[in-house]
Structure formats: structure tokens, C-alpha cells
Amino acid sequence: MQIEIDVYHLANSRLPDKLSKITASNRSWKFNFYDYDALEKSDKKGRIVILEEEDSYISCVDVFDAIVTKYSIYPTVIIFTVNRELYNVVRWMRRGAADCLWMGDLSDQLLKNSFKSALNYIESKMDIKAGRDERKKDNLYEEDKIELPQNYDWDSLKDSENYEMTLLSISAVMNKDAVGIYSKATVEKIYEQIRIEISAAAAPFGGKIWFWNNNGGMLIFHFGDNANLAALFSLYFANKFFLLTYEKLKLDKPLNYKMSIDSGKGLYHKTDTGHITSELLNFTVHIQHKLTSDNEICITERVYSKLSGRIRKYFTESEKFQDALIYKY
């Protein structure tokens, strides 16, 4: 079955030709092309809408609103932009866009991933039919659903005992051009606020900060499906991190993050966190220091093999480190 995608583009745009060439070999999608002036004449059949941004969010948001209000069922909207400013992406997401792609990065694989995510979203949405709300069953979603742990108790773990756990090493990284802008006291306050945000964000996923030092630390997940919960937290916080640095911390220069995750048996300490050491912990730290670039999440094959299909699709095979296969987001 072909998926219809309505594309709203600028006059004399090269976007229709570009999309047609990229997807020439893929017959799963049917594009309906309309320029801005033909908005009223479009058939509005697509459940996915592509909107080519004119200059920026400000100059195009009225067109976005005009388009989505014409559809009987709110479409999933993907923005195509030449604007590389991260805050532009944030504003579109807040407005309701499902994705924001830079025109210079367009490729068949990128489009496939974006459309697949859009379709997954559509299939799990509420369909409004005959004035009644009906929830579509998404068997894959139900099978891969990750349950958040309830009523877990860290005090139930014994000191100096080995437990199955997933460790997540995280660091906040300041851009080189931002170094020197802030005083030492300000930097310390920034990192402390990030620590507080991480602690609060990890708790619903059953995780906690095990130890923290300056701009980073180690999170531990033990209860429930801890590998999936750690990975899910990492994706959640990675996507929240930009908003945190811009909106809550009000920083002129956004910070970057680095995360690495490994899973296995490790020695648990309740209080003597300054002297925690184990093969699992050391390996997690080494992955972050040696392999992880800014705004990347690295996970080991041990973690990847345990992941739900919903989460696994976001990680791609990268390289080997000490004979262990590493995957990255």
C-alpha cells in the first residue's frame, strides 16, 4: 500500500525534483506536490505533510497553521529547512512538528527513518470516526512496551554485594568558545543544576545518580527492565538537554552531552561511592572517554541485545572497543 505524502513547497523550489530522485526506487510513498499558492486547491489526502520552510520559523509559522487546520485529521508534519539554528528546530517541535530535517542532509535512509517514525506515531494516535474515539491497536507497541518500575527500594540492596545492573556514564561538556564567558562560580551552579535535573529525570525510569563529580557522574539502574530503562532515559534526556540549557539555564552557548551505557553484574555500594570500582564501571567510563563524541550515546552489545525493538532502531553499529561491539545514537 502506498503512503500518500502532501508536500507544500516554495515557488520554483527544487524540493519536488530532489524528493523524486531520492525516492525513485521506493514505491511505498506517493508524493502530492503543492506550492504555497495552491494551498486551497490541494486535495489534503496525506496523513504525512512535508512543509518547506521559507526562511525561518517566524516567516513560515502562519503557513504551517493554515495547512494543518485544513485537514479533518491533524496530519503528522515534517519540516524541511535550510536553517541550521538549533533553536529553530525547538520552536517547530513546540508548534507540533514531528520532525525537522536539514535540506543539505536529505538522503533515502534519512527520509525512510523520518517517515517510519511518522507512521508509527500515526498508527498509535486516536482516530476520530463517527464522533467516537477509537484507539488503534498497535501490536508491535504492545509487545515492545517498556514498563516503568513501581515502588522500587534502593535500601533493599545489600552493601558490597554483586547485582545485575545497567550503568550510564554522563557528562555535560562546555563548548570551547564558551570557556571564559562564565565565572568559576557560575559554571559550578550550571553543573549543579544539571545534576539536579538528571536526578529528577532518572527517577521515573528507576535510575539514580550513584556518584557525581563536577560536570558528570554515574547513574545506576537495577530494578525492572534496567537495560531498556537506562537506554530509554538516555534518549529522553538527550532530547531534553538542549531545551534545558537554553530555556531553563538561559545559556547563550548551549552545552553538549556525552553518555555511555553498559550492562552486567557489578558490585554495589550504598555509601562509599568514592571508592566504587568494578570491571563494568570502568568499561562504561572508558567508552565515554575514548569513543563518545559530543551529543552521542554509546551502548555496548550487551545493552543492545536486550533492547526493545522500539529503542534498538535508534542505535546503529559503530565500531569495536576491546573486542566489544559498540552502537551509537
223 contact partners, CB below 8 Å, separation of at least 6:
149, 152, 206
Question: Per-residue pLDDT tens for 15-72?
Answer: 888 888 877 777 778 888 888 876 666 667 777 899 999 876 777 888 888 888 888 7
77 contact partners, CB below 8 Å, separation of at least 6:
48, 49, 50, 51, 64, 67, 68, 96, 97, 98
Spatial CA neighbour of 6 closest among 76, 55, 95, 108: 76
Topology at the third CATH level for domain 3-140: Rossmann fold (3.40.50)
Q: Taking residues 75-102, what's their average pLDDT?
A: 80
Would you say the C-alpha torsion 158, 162, 168, 170 has a positive or negative sign?
A: positive
Q: Is the pLDDT of residue 126 over 50?
A: no
Q: Taking residues 212-237, what's their average pLDDT?
A: 92
Element (H, E) at 290: helix 279-291
Residue boundaries of the structural domains of the chain? 3-140, 154-328
Q: What is the DSSP pairing of strand 256-268 with strand 296-300?
A: parallel
Q: Is the pLDDT of residue 277 over 50?
A: yes
Distance separating alpha carbons of residues 225 and 110, to the nearest angstrom = 30
Most confident of 106-120, 202-216, 269-283: 202-216
pLDDT band per the 50, 70, 90 thresholds, residue 132: very low
Q: What is the DSSP pairing of strand 3-9 with strand 48-52?
A: parallel
Mapping DSSP to helix (H, G, I), strand (E, B) and coil, where does residue 235 land? helix
Would you say the C-alpha torsion 139, 144, 145, 147 has a positive or negative sign?
A: positive
Residue 321 one-letter amino acid? F
Of 152 and 171, which is predicted with more confidence?
171
pLDDT band per the 50, 70, 90 thresholds, residue 127: very low
What pLDDT score does 274 carry? 55
pTM above 0.85, yes or no: no
Q: What is the DSSP pairing of strand 216-221 with strand 161-173?
A: antiparallel
Topology at the third CATH level for domain 154-328: Alpha-Beta Plaits (3.30.70)
Q: What integer best gives the mean pLDDT of the chain?
A: 81
What pLDDT score does 207 carry? 93
Is the separation of the CB atoms in 64 and 95 below 8 Å?
yes
pLDDT band per the 50, 70, 90 thresholds, residue 195: very high
Whether the domain at 3-140 and the domain at 154-328 fall into the same CATH topology: no
Distance separating alpha carbons of residues 58 and 80, to the nearest angstrom = 14
Q: Is the pLDDT of residue 135 over 50?
A: no
Most confident of 46-50, 149-153, 208-212: 208-212
What pLDDT score does 287 carry? 92
What pLDDT score does 141 carry? 39
What pLDDT score does 1 carry? 63
Q: Taking residues 97-123, what's their average pLDDT?
A: 75
Q: Could you tell me what percent of the chain has a pLDDT over 90?
A: 26
Distance separating alpha carbons of residues 275 and 289, to the nearest angstrom = 19
Of 201 and 43, which is predicted with more confidence?
201
Distance separating alpha carbons of residues 189 and 268, to the nearest angstrom = 29
pLDDT band per the 50, 70, 90 thresholds, residue 150: confident
Radius of gyration in angstroms for the set of CA atoms belonging to the chain, rounded to a whole number: 22
Q: Taking residues 207-218, what's their average pLDDT?
A: 91
Question: Per-residue pLDDT tens for 289-314?
Answer: 899 999 899 999 999 999 988 788 88
